[in-house]
Amino acid sequence: VTQPRASVAVVGIGLVGGSLLRRLTAEGVVVVGYDADPATRAVARTAGARAERPGWTVAGSLGEAVHDVDLVVLAVPLPTLAEVLAALARCGYEGLLTDVTSVKVTPAALAREHCPRARWLGGHPMAGTERSGFEASTQGLFDGAAWVLCVERHTPSADVLAVVRLATTVGARVVPATAEEHDRAVARASHLPHLVAAALTSTAADGPDGALALTLGAGSFRDGTRVAATRPELTAAMCAANAAVLADALDQLRGRLARVGDALAGEDPVAALLPILGAAQRIRAAWPVTAGERVTVPVEMAALLALGRDGGWITGIADDAGTLLAVRPRSAAEQ
């Protein structure tokens, strides 16, 4: 039996890469995986052989994985990205290349430097758990998740369509943004919550009442600190890669906490806290952002970026492939 030609290669098969193998296979996309770690390759190969037919295959080398595919997805940790890009260039890969790392300015620069002949279109699925590795991968990881697509003014439409197809096939909704917009937004939506979770955890455990405080921790502590259990190397690499932008976001947060401290120290803490808490409550009660008006958007970079900036997202590709199906966020007035 000849294995049909794979159209997508997934390089790095941990939580995200493994989940891509599982879901793409389930959706009928023929996909090949590769990981630098032989043990991970062996586990993923065994799981692929057991998967519903046709299962994914796992290549024995990077060159074998990418030699005849239309799209390579780099699902490797950010600290190894430069090295993997250089290896891809040595393999002669010149096709479309995307990634899933949690920052977007740095990977774009690394791709230009280390693999300049491939066409780079950075991506970031906002999906994950505090667990990691192929063992944690699941078919449903991307269901409903935002998948950022970092387009630039001259990104070819066909490349946009290819990555939109990948992301929507695995259940995600695609949010267009520039790499700079992405990095500023995720600093506040994702990186900052990780740093705060760590600081909250250590503050609770501090001092002579630390054991009592941890025993008393309930829902607000559980949820507010959950991602502090993430592997420190992953969080450190993610935050360090966005350090300057994240430091600005942290300054904003510290400014807000200073005002909270002033409110607590003032004459009437209830009155001083109410507007601070009320503003946050209105924002959080309207979250998550839900789908509002359905629209179509041309595969045109300015229009796509305007959609993302407004908080909208792409849900699919129209039949003629000349336009994208999209939604605008439901406004507060519509809720």
- Which 119-138 residues touch a second copy, going by CB under 8 A? 126-129
By CB neighbour count within 10 A (0-12 exposed, 13-18 middle, 19+ buried), where does 324 fall? buried
Which pair of tokens denotes residue 269? 């803490």
* Near a second copy in 141-180, by CB under 8 A: 145-146, 148, 175, 177
Q: Among the candidate windows 2-10, 66-74, 111-119, 193-201, which touches a second copy by CB under 8 A? A: 193-201
Q: Does 240 bind a second copy (CB under 8 A)?
A: yes
Q: Among the candidate windows 21-29, 36-44, 85-93, 195-203, which touches a second copy by CB under 8 A? A: 195-203
Comparison of 158 and 306: residue with beta carbon closer to a second copy: 306
Comparison of 46 and 203: residue with beta carbon closer to a second copy: 203
Comparison of 116 and 275: residue with beta carbon closer to a second copy: 275
CA 200 to chain centre: 24
Which pair of tokens denotes residue 161? 């369509």
Comparison of 120 and 142: residue with beta carbon closer to a second copy: 142
DSSP conformational letter for 7: S
- Which element (helix H / strand E) includes 58? strand 57-58
Residue 230 CB, shortest distance to a second copy, in Å, is: 7
Q: Does 249 bind a second copy (CB under 8 A)?
A: yes
Radius of gyration of the CA atoms of the chain, in A: 22
Q: Does 287 bind a second copy (CB under 8 A)?
A: yes
Q: Convert residues 40-79 into a mask of x (bound to a second copy by CB under 8 A) and - (unbound).
A: ----------------------------------------
- What is the size of the binding site for a second copy (CB under 8 A)? 103
Q: Does 184 bind a second copy (CB under 8 A)?
A: yes
Can you list the alpha helix ranges (DSSP code H) found in the chain?
15-26, 38-50, 62-66, 81-90, 105-114, 157-169, 179-186, 192-205, 210-216, 219-225, 232-240, 243-265, 269-285, 301-309
Count of Cβ atoms closer than 10 Å to residue 91 Cβ: 17
Q: Does 291 bind a second copy (CB under 8 A)?
A: no
Helix axes 179-186, 243-265, angle to 10 degrees: 30
Tokens 């008006």 sit on residue: 293
Q: Does 333 bind a second copy (CB under 8 A)?
A: no
Q: Does 227 bind a second copy (CB under 8 A)?
A: yes
* Near a second copy in 252-271, by CB under 8 A: 252-254, 256-258, 260-261, 264-265, 269-270
Order of strands, sheet of 323-329, starting from the edge strand that comes earlier in the sequence: 123-125, 146-150, 173-177, 313-317, 323-329, 291-298
Q: Out of 28, 285, 320, 335, which residue is the one contacting a second copy (CB under 8 A)?
A: 285
Comparison of 3 and 203: residue with beta carbon closer to a second copy: 203
As a whole number of angstroms, the distance between CA 24 and CA 294 comes to 26
Q: Out of 87, 198, 299, 317, which residue is the one contacting a second copy (CB under 8 A)?
A: 198
* Near a second copy in 296-315, by CB under 8 A: 308-313
Q: Does 224 bind a second copy (CB under 8 A)?
A: yes
Q: Measured on CA atoms in the order 277, 188, 190, 228, is the torsion positive or negative? A: negative
Q: Out of 220, 319, 320, 335, which residue is the one contacting a second copy (CB under 8 A)?
A: 220
Comparison of 91 and 126: residue with beta carbon closer to a second copy: 126
Residue 186 CB, shortest distance to a second copy, in Å, is: 6
Distances from the Cα of 12 to the Cα of 61, 202, 284, 305, 324, angstroms: 12, 33, 35, 29, 29
